[in-house]
Amino acid sequence: MARLYCRWRRVVLCVCTLFTSLVLLFLYVGILVTMGMVDTTTSGTDRDHFIAPGASRNNGYAPCSQTFWQNNQHGNAFWNNLQLVVDYRFNPIMSLHNSSRSCNKRTFYESVRRQSFSKVKGMLNSDELPEMLKDFVSSMHRRDYSTLIQPNGVCGAGATDEKEAPLLLLAIKSTELNFKNRQAIRKTWGQAGWVSGQSSKGEEGGGYVRRIFLLGRENYDDLGGNPLELLQRESELYGDILQWDFLDTFFNLTLKDVLLWKWFSRYCSRTRFVFKGDDDVFVNTVKMITYLQDQLNEPQADKEMKNFMVGYVIGGASPKRNNRSKYFIPESFYRGLYPAYASGGGVIYSGQLTKRLHKISERVHLFPIDDTYVGMCMIRLNTFPVHHSAFLIFDFAGNQEDEDCSYHKILVVHKRSPSEIIETWAQLKTRTQCWDAPLR
């Protein structure tokens, strides 16, 4: 019995010794593996975050992005830094104590824009700028100009017995001396009142159209006379002149947008759409009325109208750096690409969007290129214009103008002289076989 007990005792000791050895071996291997996984470049201090392999070049954190939230990414570009101050002020995250609700908003916006000028003072050497851009910079803080001539109607020239809200306001940029252009438009595509259309389903339709011409004033010293008296007589006759007291230059065209939005918000709040264009474009108004009515009949049209803008859209454009171009913008003034924008030669947007553009423009510094400025306002509304091939801002391509019904398939074409506008309108009205031609 004692001999059997000793034998089992030796067996148990052997098994336990073997098991203990295996446990110690596993522990040893585990410790070696763990030590091998530790980054030898780290210090002995404990870390409270995970370090991904290959990402510990800056004290254990992943490499910082070179562009995200980068300070001074626009260098010394004057407009970018000027606008950055305003954008920062209205950013709800960056500026928690926004006091815009505690005072008159208009006064508050003016104050913020004025403060931004003081913060970037000395960044731009205006002596190095071209004369036209230098003049713009000297007055870009101003946007509240008095009116010299107001239209007779509340919202431009139109029918006196409108049975419903106007469908379309034709807002046309012109100059004091372009009387022939205005007359050609009044006789043709710019006729105010009821304009008949035809829906895509063959149903008769139409809408009330109003008309307004947007003008600044000429440099009377250069003209050797003052055409204001003639313009006032023109206004009394047609009731469609809206003129402000600023110098009518290429870089001041942006003021016509900003002041139009303000005027529209006050006098034209019931108007559904605005066509804004130059006085040297041809417009197929009948097709435009039809197109706009179709948009209003689309599902969720009320929701879509909030952001509705359509035209010839240009995206990813670079500023012109050639100082011989009238669009020349030096890098010291603006850096980067332009946002997507609809060419200002002819563009349509909803009345709702017009009012929104008026409000957001208070937060955007004036820019010398008008259609680019509209794109800058649009991107701050988090929306973009829609491209439509019926807007021929750069004219017909090749021999397309000679094709059958070519003008019945477009909404806008640029550019045309007064005589060409009158001739084309006559052909448009008489070629009945083309009336049902679809848009491009």
- Percent residues over pLDDT 70 in the chain: 80
The correct answer on CATH 3.90.550.50 for the domain covering 147-434 is: yes
- In the chain, what are the domain boundaries? 78-124, 147-434
Summarize pLDDT for 316-369 with one digit per residue, the tens: 999 999 999 999 999 999 999 999 999 999 999 999 999 999 999 999 999 999
Count other C-beta atoms under 10 Å from residue 63's C-beta: 10
For 93-140, the three-class secondary structure string (H helix, E strand, C coil) is CCCCCCCHHHCCHHHHHHHHHHHHHHHCCCCCCHHHCCHHHHHHHHHC
Summarize pLDDT for 259-289 with one digit per residue, the tens: 999 999 999 989 999 999 999 999 999 999 9
Summarize pLDDT for 109-160 with one digit per residue, the tens: 888 888 888 888 777 877 788 899 999 999 999 999 999 999 977 899 998 8
pLDDT value, residue 381: 97
pLDDT band at 36 (very low <50, low <70, confident <90, very high): low
State yes or no: cis peptide before 180, omega within 30 of 0: no
pLDDT value, residue 106: 74
Summarize pLDDT for 46-71 with one digit per residue, the tens: 444 334 444 444 444 444 444 444 55
Q: How far apart are the first and last CA of the chain?
A: 110
Helix, strand and coil content of the chain, in percent to the nearest 5, comes to: 40, 15, 40
pLDDT value, residue 62: 45
- For residue 348, the surrounding DSSP H or E stretch is strand 341-350
Measure the CA angle with vertex 258, ends 254 and 260; round to 5°. 110
Global confidence as pTM:
0.81
Query: Helix, strand or coil for residue 144?
Result: coil
State the burial class of residue 410 (Cβ atoms within 10 Å of its Cβ: 0-12, 13-18, 19+). Answer: buried
pLDDT band at 221 (very low <50, low <70, confident <90, very high): confident
Summarize pLDDT for 286-321 with one digit per residue, the tens: 999 999 999 999 999 989 999 999 999 999 999 999
pLDDT value, residue 438: 92
- For residue 391, the surrounding DSSP H or E stretch is strand 391-392
pLDDT value, residue 88: 87
Q: Which residues contact 277 (CB under 8 A, 6 or more apart)?
A: 170, 171, 172, 173, 283, 344, 345, 346, 347, 412
Mean pLDDT of 398-412: 95
